[in-house]
Amino acid sequence: MNAKLIFSVCSNSLTAIFLLEEPCVYVVNALLCLMNILQACGPLKLAYKAAWTRVSLLKNLLSDESMASGFGCSMRDSMSESVSDACGKSVVLVDTLQRSGRKEARENVIDCLLHWTNVDTQLSSPNNLRTLVKLWVKVH
């Protein structure tokens, strides 16, 4: 009896359109969201790599004492800001990779932690490490 009632209600094309409209909107929105997440992974990876490359370059500049003395505190501040920025970009990238279902999220967390270990701990806030460890726990 229920099947006959549904068939009779859906046989009217306008009623069928209105009944199907809402579920279709949800499906389309979910697909568009997934496509946006998948498309976002490429630019986020680029931003992530650029941020950690900047940290590496600043670290090399700071290790050269003649260069570092010319910049003074501003170089250390810039390094600290760069590490925070790289950690933030790492979190966004890994979260996006996870939501897109890609398995490379784990490798990226490990890569982030390895990058962070190359940074002098005096130049990085403890919050940066805490954020990366939380991310590692979330992924594993």
Burial class (CB in 10 A: 0-12, 13-18, 19+), 112: buried
Residue 60: its pLDDT value, please? 83
* Cα atoms in the Cβ-side hemisphere of radius 13 Å centred on 131: 19
Residue 1: its pLDDT value, please? 47
Q: Who wins on pLDDT, 96 or 73?
A: 96
Q: Cα(57)–Cα(88) distance, rounded to whole angstroms?
A: 18
Contact 115, 55 (CB under 8 A): yes
Angle at 118 between CA 117 and CA 124, to 5 degrees: 70
Contact 94, 108 (CB under 8 A): yes
Q: Sketch the domain layout of the chain as residue ranges.
A: 40-139
pTM beyond 0.75? no
Q: Who wins on pLDDT, 62 or 90?
A: 90
| AA letter at 74 | S
Angle, helix 73-99 to helix 126-139, in steps of 10 degrees: 10
